[in-house]
Amino acid sequence: MDRIRIVGGAKLHGTIPVSGAKNAALPLMIASLLTPETLTLENVPRLSDVRMLKRILGNHGVDITVAGKRLGDREDDGETVKLTAGSIVDTVAPYELVSQMRASFWVVAPLLARMGEAKVSLPGGCAIGTRPVDLLLMALEKLGAEIEIEGGYVLARAPKGLKGGEIDFAKVTVGGTHTALMAAVLAHGTSIIRNAAREPEVGDLARCLVKMGAKISGIDTSVLEVTGVGSLKGAHHRVLPDRIEAGTYAFATAMAGGDVTLTDVQPHLLQSALDRLSDAGATVTTTENSIRVSRNGNGLAAVNIETEAFPGFPTDLQAQFMALMTKAQGTSRITETIFENRFMHVSELARFGAKIRLDGDTAIVEGMPVLKGAPVMATDLRASVSLVIAALAAEGETMINRVYHLDRGFEQLESKLQRCGAEVERIRG
Ligand code: EPZ
């Protein structure tokens, strides 16, 4: 199993190009099931989650090709992936595949919308707490689906097709909103989705669906209105930049010190995190598509955060911010409101000498002047990268084990950091 070795202490200087967003690419790829025509996605990140989803979609009959290099292509661009679901040969998504990646459960919506049936394994728990699918199933039922759960599988049926309905989410859910959108676009009549997630990745899916011929209004708001159409067509869409990757490198720069410019980003999608980073004492300046972060000499201030649905502070940056706060002057409170158990990184950060105490949904972090490198283990992917951030500012060597979690969500992590002067290497084996 690969490991990552980091020797802390180097300041970061340079430019980091931000990849396409994993959490936009996955639902966009799944949307290819909605049409027999080709959906071409540009800037798809090269990640193991994307590779896994290609396998899952291939199993349903989607032909997938990756375009070769073209003149004028930018070196750091992601892949151009063409997905064609000419005919769907299998409406079953088996346990072996779905259990490895929760997002693959979302295939239930396009399979049901296009084929009138789907049998998809329940995704099961994961390292960040139980993550039920009750709201996703409720949304499908509101659109007329009959749902049964049998032997760990969700059996969804709509033999006469889905019909428009009103969906009121009791809780903001990204996957629930993706599911509702992908089901409603091919339903008969109009659907209203209330308390919809406003995460930019939901907006990206909605915009792509519109290019495919869907009728959606209210994009980027919490009320979406979808008027179903008889069929969708192929389209061309560029995946949104990864705001979580951008935030991660912004925090890493503040942690290590130095001056880094992140390119190919949309800073306004990351405003709450950048504001907290400024509060912590980093200098943050933005243009329309870049973020420059620097910290030279001055220490970090303790800042409290609470995770929230967009546009609040993202849960997917909570672990990374906690790593940053382990070296701040003073005590910070980090409250996780989205997931019930997203604190797996606390015990690993403690190996660097960090002082963190848990009190229910809040971690109380007492900043330390010095962290020391240690052997640590990655748990989920955001937790893993929080260890990278701590390691960059720790004295001596850190060895991060189980890095396959990092490969699920961070493209070329080592080379992006190396280019900025970090001492980081992957040890294969
Ligand atoms: C998406 O997960 C992301 N995954 C997560 O990123 C992200 O943390 C999360 O949204 C919140 O922003 C992808 O996009 C692939 P939710 P999702 O449905 O859709 C509860 C990462 O690291 N809930 O918005 O699964 C749920 O338990 C990953 O890239 C129900 O109760 O999250 C949670 O408490 C991790 N019933 C809350 O809602 C349901 O039916 C929000 O979950 C569905 C969700």
**CB atoms closer than 10 angstroms to residue 298:** 11
Taking residue 340's Cβ as centre, other Cβ atoms within 10 Å add up to: 12
Q: Hey, what long-range contacts does 286-292 have (CB within 8 A, 24 or more apart)? A: 289/263, 289/264, 289/265, 290/261, 290/262, 290/263, 290/265, 291/246, 291/250, 291/261, 291/262, 291/265, 291/267, 292/259, 292/260, 292/261, 292/262
**Alpha helices per DSSP H over 32-133:** 48-60, 95-98, 108-115
Token output for 371: 């962290």
d(CA 278, CA 323): 16
Peptide bond into 311 cis (omega under 30): yes
Amino acid present at 222:
S
Residue nearest to atom 27 of ligand 1 (CA): 131
Q: Are residues 223 and 249 in the same domain?
A: no
Phi, then psi, of 31 in degrees rounded to 5: -65, -20
Is the shortest distance between the CB of 355 and ligand 1 below 6 Å?
Answer: no
Do 14 and 26 fall into the same domain?
no
Kindly state if the Cβ of 200 falls inside 6 Å of ligand 1: no
Any ligand 1 atom below 6 A from CB of 125 = no
State how far the Cα of 425 lies from the Cα of 429, in Å rounded to an integer.
13
Q: Is 42 exposed, middle or buried (0-12, 13-18, 19+ CB in 10 A)?
A: middle
pLDDT at 133: 93
Q: How far is the CA of 120 from the centre of ligand 1 (A)?
A: 18
What is the value of pTM for the model shown?
A: 0.97
Residues of the chain above pLDDT 90, percent:
90
pLDDT digits (tens, 9 = 90+) for 337-370: 999 889 999 999 999 999 999 999 999 999 999 9
- Tokens 């759960």: give the residue: 149
Tally of domains in the chain: 2
* Substitution candidate for ligand 1 out of 174, 201, 310, 341 with most atoms within 8 A of CB: 174
Mean pLDDT across the chain = 95
Same domain, 267 and 408: yes
**Which of 183, 211, 238 finishes a domain?**
238
pLDDT tens digits, one per residue of 37-88: 999 999 999 999 999 999 999 999 999 999 877 777 777 789 999 999 999 9
pLDDT value for 17: 97
Range of the domain at 270: 3-18+241-427
Half-sphere exposure in the Cβ direction for 175 (13 Å, CA): 18
Contacts of the segment 202-208: beta carbons below 8 A, 24+ positions apart = 202/174, 202/177, 202/178, 204/21, 204/24, 204/28, 204/237, 204/239, 204/240, 205/24, 205/27, 205/28, 205/31, 205/178, 205/181, 206/181, 207/237, 208/28, 208/31, 208/39, 208/235, 208/237
Ligand 1: which of 22, 173, 306 to mutate, judged by most atoms within 8 Å of the beta carbon?
173
Q: Are residues 245 and 367 in the same domain?
A: yes
Q: Is 167 in the pocket of ligand 1 (CB under 6 A)?
A: no
- Ligand 1 pocket, residue 386 CB under 6 Å: no
Q: What is the CA radius of gyration of the chain?
A: 22
In this structure, which residue's CA is closest to atom 4 in ligand 1?
Answer: 23
Pair (166, 314) in one structural domain: no
Q: Is the CB of 131 under 6 A from ligand 1?
A: yes
Write down the pLDDT at residue 70.
77
Residues 106 and 10 in one domain: no
Q: Which of these three, 218, 238, 258, is where a domain ends?
A: 238
Residues 88, 230, single domain; the answer is yes
Boundary of a domain, candidates 196, 214, 238: 238
CA–CA separation, 351 and 366 (whole Å): 14
Residues 172, 278 within the same domain? no
pLDDT at site 130: 62
Neighbour-count burial for 198-209, b at 16+ CB within 10 Å, e otherwise: bbbbbbbbbbbb
pLDDT of amino acid 206 = 99
Q: Are strands 153-157 and 146-150 parallel, antiparallel or unpaired?
A: antiparallel
Same domain, 212 and 270: no
Burial-class residue 15 by CB neighbours within 10 Å (0-12, 13-18, 19+): middle
In whole angstroms, what is the distance from residue 188 CA to residue 240 CA?
30
Closest atom, ligand 1, to C-alpha of 171: 38
In angstroms, rounded to a whole number, what is the distance separating the alpha carbons of residues 254 and 277? 8
Statement to judge: residues 280 and 151 lie in one domain = no
Separation of alpha carbons 392 and 420, rounded Å: 12
Same domain for 254 and 212:
no
Q: Whose Cα sits closest to atom 28 in ligand 1?
A: 316
The size of the chain, in residues, is 429
Which residue numbers in the chain have pLDDT < 70?
124-130
The number of beta carbons lying within 10 Å of the beta carbon of residue 40 is 17
Contacts of 152 (CB under 8 A, 6+ apart): 95, 121, 122
Cα–Cα distance list, 268 to 76, 173, 263, 282, 310 (Å): 22, 21, 13, 17, 11
Check residue 265 and give its pLDDT: 98
7, 126, 155, 210: the active-site residue: 126
Cα distance between residue 320 and residue 382, in whole Å: 7
CATH number of the domain at 191, please: 3.65.10.10
Please indicate whether residue 208 is annotated as part of the active site.
no
Confirm if 93 and 104 have CB atoms less than 8 A apart.
yes
CA of 175 to the centre of ligand 1 (A): 6
Q: Same domain, yes or no, for 122 and 144?
A: yes
Cα 420 to chain centroid distance, Å, stands at: 24
